[in-house]
Chains A and B, each alone.
Chain A
Amino acid sequence: MELLAAGFVYLAAAVIAVPLANRLGLGSVLGYLIAGVIIGPLLGVVGQEATEVQHFAEFGVVMMLFLVGLELQPSQLWAMRYQLAGLGGLQVVLSTVAIGGVAWCFGLAWQGALALGMILALSSTAIVLQTLHEKGLMTTHGGQSAFSVLLTQDIAVIPMLALMPLLAVTGASQGHEGSQAAHGDTEASTHGQLAHLFSTLPDWLQVVVILAVIGGIILAGRLLMRPLLRFIAQSGLREIFTAAALLLVIGIALLMSLVGLSPALGTFLAGVVLSDSEYRHELESDVEPFKGLLLGLFFITVGATIDVGLLMSEATAVVSIALGLLLLKGSILFALASLFGLRGANRWLFALGLAQAGEFAFVLFAFATSSGVLDDEITRIMTLAVALTMLMTPLLFILFEKVLAPRAQQSSTGESPKIDQRESIVVAGMGRFGQIVARLLTSRGHEVTILDHDPETIEHLARIGFRVYYGDATRPDLLESAGLPSASLLIAALDDRDKQTRLVEQVANRWPHVTVLARAHDRHHVYELEKAGAHHVERETFESALHLGGEALTVLGEHPFAARKATNRFRQHDLQSLDELRAAWAEEGVSGRYIDAMRAQHGMLAQVMQSDRKDDALSRSERGWTPPPDGDATQ
């Protein structure tokens, strides 16, 4: 199929199916899968190329891990080390043994059974993480444990890839024609080819290169990336920043593939390294849409590549394998969850969420077939079963959400510390106004997230110790990753008048629970911002100008306290007129009527301000501290 036509079909399927699935409460993943089933097996619009598209779309997983890394600070990762090694390691080993054992009982050679066990022990990072994020379960104890297991599995892919050919050497005695046929097969994926190139190096050199690459990523992330991103940010071209973000992810993925490591693992590492940089939120927002689309595409291809013919002829076998796999993995996960102190809803989330087999199975099946560990027929049935378990996962999540979680609510005790602790105050714009507000807030011990688009300001503030992130604060996606959804307060202090109004409008519409305190440029901007939904508006120059005016009165010879009183009175009158002119402005803007009203207010102001002249014996406008008339203090 032609590229444009294919694109049209995929996008159309997604655009129709995903919102529908979401509306029905099935989640976007199931929506994509259904879309795939419809355009693939059901309508037959897409066919062979779906597998190729799938390889391309697998890159979504790589991006997703980059994003996960960005949200994880190194210290948090270190705090998870026992979960990674214990929970994750045990899950991989136990599942491999159990699944392999069952396969062996069904008459598979031990090499094939072991390979099958390893492949099916892995779960679907794409589906699970996407669903956890979507449902906001990432921060629960169960979600966090699931994440650490997925991370371990990702690491485990490396030894599995290394082990597969070894199993083949001994398993080759079975004499499958597949092993010869697969030699030049492009199915073995680019990953395999590049790894092959690397594997011609001597062993010790391989180790050195791997260590050098990992060290290089960490060092470059620490020392090189920040100045580089800063340089790019200074150009002010947003698309170039996006390009740089993609370049970074693709570059690392390529590098990792070259040395035979998982690209997802590499970008995850890069993400962690960059997680405490000021460009974190901007990188996140830039990569996010690509990740979303690619993952969606990936899910569609999973649906589209289901072999209906085979499914029909082998229905009983495929379905029972899929169900058996879910049950077996689910039981092991449930037992491990109990062992590691997960209780109630969290235990169910963990067990049901990870019970499926994952997208790595597709890659590994291809690899295993090409190296002759597994024969073609088994792989075809197994691939189908894997796809089926993935299809069922969203349903399991729904089961969890609708049935198990509400019931377990009472028994689950306090949630463990969250992976991503977000601050509840966001300051947008760290110019001369926002800076003062942020400094006052932090001086009182409040944590603030600061957004600014000037690399120099960011650099400067970061040196002082502020947590500042680069980005255009009017972008909803950046606001989202900066934590607006969970924030309680936004200080809107952008220099650009129109951008400021747009920012307030967006936040007020999307996150009505956030209190918006906004800085206005002038009187009319106050009205605009109020209309946009700000809760409190302050003119940026108003208070400081009043202050200077009071100073001027003192210099002109007025008593400082009298000057203070005069500025207070001026403020009071001005705020009053601000209220009184609001209606006139809202009706017709700066019209003749508005200007008339303004002129009247100005006249009144002069009266009010000058009424405390000494000759004006007992003016009502001058309250307090006034001696009684003619010294009469009641005789």
Chain B
Amino acid sequence: MKVLVYLAHPRPDRSEVNATLFRQASNAGHVTSVDLYATYPSMDIDIDAEQRRLVEHDVIVFQHPFYWYSCPALLKEWIDLVLEYGFAYGPQGQALKGKQVMHVISCGAARHAYTQEGYKGVTVPELLRPFKATWQLCQVEWLPPLVLFDAGRAEADGRLDEHCQDYRALLDLLHHTPLDAAQLSRHALFNDYLSDTPFDTSHETSSAASLASSPSFHSPRGRN
């Protein structure tokens, strides 16, 4: 599986989390990583180039801070321009059919804030509904998001390293084995899926291999 990671962060120099995570992605070798703000500093998106990129990959990861419960402006611009009628949707728009998409986001607030009872009163998946709807229209499979909560304190709390390793493992996983979107959809966040698997506790071993062999995961090949 060919994995494409888009970073959408206007100030990577001020970012503790996303810059570090993106470095992981860029070093992963088998992953194509694109810094959107570096590629389009004046916001003039090359639609053709982006569409070509999408066609060439199987899994698309959007990595971004959860600015105002959404993505930074350039990513929205990217969505508005690149997901064209006739390309991504519409009767002739089948170019993205069957691909998978995942958002990897960082939130400032702690996880309990994003609950019915929490002070935000709404969950991250609920807030991501517009993205999910967008990708469903494009016949792209939606994978639950990987979220880093309380991102501002993640480094101080020593959670950032852990999260980085999860991210790296996720990228390996996406590269090596197709994920079953239907099965994953039982989990609200990819975080939950990880904590359900032995992979969560065995960072030292090759996480991809361990995850592939885990009982909750089914590869299409395995099912056939």
What residues of B have a CB within 8 angstroms of the CB of A630 in the complex? 152-153
Residue of A nearest to B10 (CB): A625
**Is A443 among interface residues, defined by CB-CB distance under 8 A?**
no
Contact A561 B37 (CB under 8 A): yes
- The contact string, 1 if C-beta is below 8 Å from chain B, for chain A 443-470, is 0000000000000000000000000000
**Is A512 among interface residues, defined by CB-CB distance under 8 A?**
no
- The contact string, 1 if C-beta is below 8 Å from chain B, for chain A 536-580, is 000000000000000000000001111110000000000000000
**Is B215 among interface residues, defined by CB-CB distance under 8 A?**
no
What residues of A have a CB within 8 angstroms of the CB of B14 in the complex? 614, 625-627
Contact B41 A627 (CB under 8 A): no
Contact A560 B153 (CB under 8 A): no
Residue of A nearest to B154 (CB): A631
Q: Which chain A residues (582-635) contact chain B, with CB distance < 8 Å?
A: 614, 624-628, 630-635
Interface size on B, residues (CB 8 A): 26
Cβ contact of B37, chosen from A559, A626, A633, cutoff 8 A: A559
What residues of A have a CB within 8 angstroms of the CB of B205 in the complex? none
The smallest beta-carbon distance between B205 and chain A, in angstroms, is 32
**Is B151 among interface residues, defined by CB-CB distance under 8 A?**
yes
Residue of B nearest to A632 (CB): B152
Cβ contact of B151, chosen from A562, A626, A631, A634, cutoff 8 A: A631
**Is B107 among interface residues, defined by CB-CB distance under 8 A?**
yes
Given known A-B contacts A614-B14, A625-B10, A631-B153, A560 and B38 have beta carbons under 8 A apart? yes
Contact B152 A564 (CB under 8 A): no
Contact A562 B108 (CB under 8 A): no
What is the count of residue pairs linking A and B with beta-carbon distances less than 8 angstroms? 57
**Is B200 among interface residues, defined by CB-CB distance under 8 A?**
no
The smallest beta-carbon distance between A622 and chain B, in angstroms, is 9
* Cα–Cα, bound, A67→B195 (Å): 90
Contact A635 B41 (CB under 8 A): no
Contact B110 A564 (CB under 8 A): no
What residues of B have a CB within 8 angstroms of the CB of A633 in the complex? 107-109, 150, 152
Cβ contact of A628, chosen from B11, B113, B152, B154, cutoff 8 A: B152
Contact A561 B108 (CB under 8 A): no
Cβ contact of B152, chosen from A614, A624, A631, cutoff 8 A: A631
**Is B80 among interface residues, defined by CB-CB distance under 8 A?**
no
Closest 3 CB pairs of A and B: A631-B152, A633-B108, A564-B41
Contact A560 B152 (CB under 8 A): no
Residue of B nearest to A630 (CB): B152
Given known A-B contacts A614-B13, A625-B10, A628-B108, A559 and B152 have beta carbons under 8 A apart? no
What residues of A have a CB within 8 angstroms of the CB of B92 in the complex? none
What residues of B have a CB within 8 angstroms of the CB of A628 in the complex? 108, 152
**Is B12 among interface residues, defined by CB-CB distance under 8 A?**
yes
* Cα–Cα, bound, A51→B104 (Å): 98
* Cα–Cα, bound, A194→B1 (Å): 95
What residues of B have a CB within 8 angstroms of the CB of A614 in the complex? 13-14
Residue of A nearest to B156 (CB): A631
- The contact string, 1 if C-beta is below 8 Å from chain A, for chain B 13-51, is 111100000000000000000010111011000000000
Contact A635 B109 (CB under 8 A): yes
Contact B13 A631 (CB under 8 A): no
What residues of B have a CB within 8 angstroms of the CB of A560 in the complex? 37-39, 41
Contact A631 B11 (CB under 8 A): no
Cβ contact of B11, chosen from A562, A563, A632, cutoff 8 A: A562
Q: Which chain A residues (338-379) contact chain B, with CB distance < 8 Å?
A: none
* Cα–Cα, bound, A632→B113 (Å): 13
What residues of A have a CB within 8 angstroms of the CB of B12 in the complex? 559
* Cα–Cα, bound, A634→B113 (Å): 9
* Cα–Cα, bound, A630→B156 (Å): 10
The smallest beta-carbon distance between A633 and chain B, in angstroms, is 3
* Cα–Cα, bound, A540→B122 (Å): 53
* Cα–Cα, bound, A627→B10 (Å): 12
- The contact string, 1 if C-beta is below 8 Å from chain A, for chain B 166-180, is 000000000000000
What residues of A have a CB within 8 angstroms of the CB of B13 in the complex? 559, 562, 614
Residue of B nearest to A613 (CB): B13
What residues of B have a CB within 8 angstroms of the CB of A624 in the complex? 10
The smallest beta-carbon distance between A577 and chain B, in angstroms, is 24
Residue of B nearest to A627 (CB): B152
* Cα–Cα, bound, A628→B67 (Å): 12
What residues of A have a CB within 8 angstroms of the CB of B113 in the complex? 635
Given known A-B contacts A626-B14, A628-B108, A561 and B41 have beta carbons under 8 A apart? yes
Q: Which chain B residues (146-171) contact chain A, with CB distance < 8 Å?
A: 150-154, 156
Residue of B nearest to A633 (CB): B108
The smallest beta-carbon distance between A173 and chain B, in angstroms, is 91
Residue of B nearest to A631 (CB): B152
Supplied contacts A614-B13, A633-B150, 18 more A-B pairs, CB within 8 Å: A559-B35, A560-B41, A561-B41, A564-B42, A614-B14, A625-B10, A625-B11, A627-B15, A627-B108, A628-B152, A630-B152, A630-B153, A631-B151, A632-B108, A632-B152, A634-B109, A635-B110, A635-B113
What residues of B have a CB within 8 angstroms of the CB of A563 in the complex? 41
What residues of B have a CB within 8 angstroms of the CB of A626 in the complex? 11, 14
Residue of A nearest to B67 (CB): A625
Q: Which chain A residues (198-223) contact chain B, with CB distance < 8 Å?
A: none
What residues of B have a CB within 8 angstroms of the CB of A561 in the complex? 10-11, 37-38, 41
Q: List 21 A-B contacts (CB under 8 A).
A: A559-B12, A559-B35, A559-B37, A559-B38, A560-B37, A560-B38, A561-B11, A561-B38, A561-B41, A562-B13, A625-B14, A625-B72, A626-B11, A626-B14, A628-B108, A631-B152, A632-B108, A633-B108, A633-B109, A634-B119, A635-B113
- The contact string, 1 if C-beta is below 8 Å from chain A, for chain B 109-142, is 1100100000100000000000000000000000
Residue of A nearest to B108 (CB): A633
Residue of B nearest to A629 (CB): B152
* Cα–Cα, bound, A625→B153 (Å): 17
The smallest beta-carbon distance between B13 and chain A, in angstroms, is 6
Residue of B nearest to A562 (CB): B13
* Cα–Cα, bound, A614→B16 (Å): 11
Cβ contact of B108, chosen from A564, A625, A631, cutoff 8 A: A631
Residue of A nearest to B150 (CB): A631
What residues of A have a CB within 8 angstroms of the CB of B72 in the complex? 625
What residues of B have a CB within 8 angstroms of the CB of A627 in the complex? 14-16, 108, 152
* Cα–Cα, bound, A634→B108 (Å): 8
The smallest beta-carbon distance between B64 and chain A, in angstroms, is 12
What residues of A have a CB within 8 angstroms of the CB of B107 in the complex? 633
* Cα–Cα, bound, A631→B72 (Å): 18
